[in-house]
Amino acid sequence: NAGVTQTPKFQVLKTGQSMTLQCAQDMNHNSMYWYRQDPGMGLRLIYYSASEGTTDKGEVPNGYNVSRLNKREFSLRLESAAPSQTSVYFCASSERTGGTGELFFGEGSRLTVL
């Protein structure tokens, strides 16, 4: 049972390069999320998708774009990477937003921007 799968797990970029983090879930969840985790800052929401066809900004959306490709997949794109985007990125999914249900997380993608 795969759950939430993120790729790649590690990536090193140079400033100004672009890349896309991929996320797929196999639990038929409606809602998907992208968080970043930084030391001393905890987990901060970048973007989320409450349902297929919708996306909303979270706490720290600047410098990122997202695409909810279909119900299973939710990608995060960095158009022009900056050193401040060095972080560990987590994708998560849940049955729906705003409820009492569990969020299921991927294993994370560690991104370094030089």
Partner 1 sequence: GNSVTQMEGPVTLSEEAFLTINCTYTATGYPSLFWYVQYPGEGLQLLLKATKADDKGSNKGFEATYRKETTSFHLEKGSVQVSDSAVYFCALSNGQAGTALIFGKGTTLSVSS
User: With respect to partner 1, which residue has the nearer C-beta, 14 or 98?
Assistant: 98
Q: How far is the CB of 91 from partner 1 (least distance, A)?
A: 9
Token pair, residue 59, equals 């706490």
- Upstream peptide bond of 39 is cis (omega within 30 degrees of 0): no
User: With respect to partner 1, which residue has the nearer C-beta, 19 or 43?
Assistant: 43
Choices 18-26, 64-72, 77-85, 106-114; region in contact with partner 1 by CB under 8 A: 106-114
Q: Which 8-state DSSP code applies to residue 1?
A: -
**According to the binding rule CB under 8 A, does residue 19 interact with partner 1?**
no
**According to the binding rule CB under 8 A, does residue 42 interact with partner 1?**
yes
**According to the binding rule CB under 8 A, does residue 55 interact with partner 1?**
no
**According to the binding rule CB under 8 A, does residue 20 interact with partner 1?**
no
Q: If DSSP states are collapsed to H, E and C, what string results for 12-66?
A: EECCCCCEEEEEEECCCCCEEEEEEEECCCEEEEEEEECCCCCCEECCCCCCEEE
Q: Which of 56, 69, 84, 114 binds partner 1 (CB under 8 A)?
A: 56
Rounded Cα distance between 51 and 45, Å, is 16
**According to the binding rule CB under 8 A, does residue 96 interact with partner 1?**
yes
